[in-house]
């Protein structure tokens, strides 16, 4: 009996799955003109939006309750700017593409625009 319980305890973590979320990778649209940019990576889960803060050198989570959500978009607000993610259909396309815009809401101007890939994934 003890062996059976031990085997179950050993195997349980390997067969259980985490919650499903979105893994988002965004590339600056200026890269189309030959300039090299590193993609920005984000995770959107039921509990929040996660990103890597280079200044703090760690992953940071913004709670879902602090995100601005809409039918086809969501926005994460920071101290000086906000990141707006939305699904749009470009002219000539049939399926939507996720884009992200970095908006300086204090000076009321867009700073950068990105095209994103979003993949459904189990978040660990």
pLDDT tens figures, 42-73:
999 888 999 988 888 888 999 999 999 998 89
Mean pLDDT of the chain: 85
DSSP secondary structure string, 30-42?
GGGGT---PPEEE
- Asked whether 37 and 28 are in contact (CB, 8 A), the reply is yes
pTM of full prediction above 0.85: no
């Amino acid at each position: 009996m003890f062996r059976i319980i031990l085997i179950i305890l050993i195997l349980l973590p390997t067969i259980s799955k985490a919650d499903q979320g979105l893994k988002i990778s965004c590339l600056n649209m200026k890269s189309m003109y030959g300039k090299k940019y590193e993609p920005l990576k984000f995770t959107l889960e039921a509990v929040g939006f996660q990103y890597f803060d280079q200044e703090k050198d760690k992953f940071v989570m913004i709670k879902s309750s602090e995100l601005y959500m809409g039918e086809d978009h969501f926005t994460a607000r920071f101290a000086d700017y906000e990141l707006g993610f939305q699904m749009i259909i470009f002219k000539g396309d049939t399926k939507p593409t996720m884009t992200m815009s970095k908006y300086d809401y204090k000076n009321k101007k867009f700073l950068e625009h990105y095209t994103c890939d979003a993949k459904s994934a189990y978040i660990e």
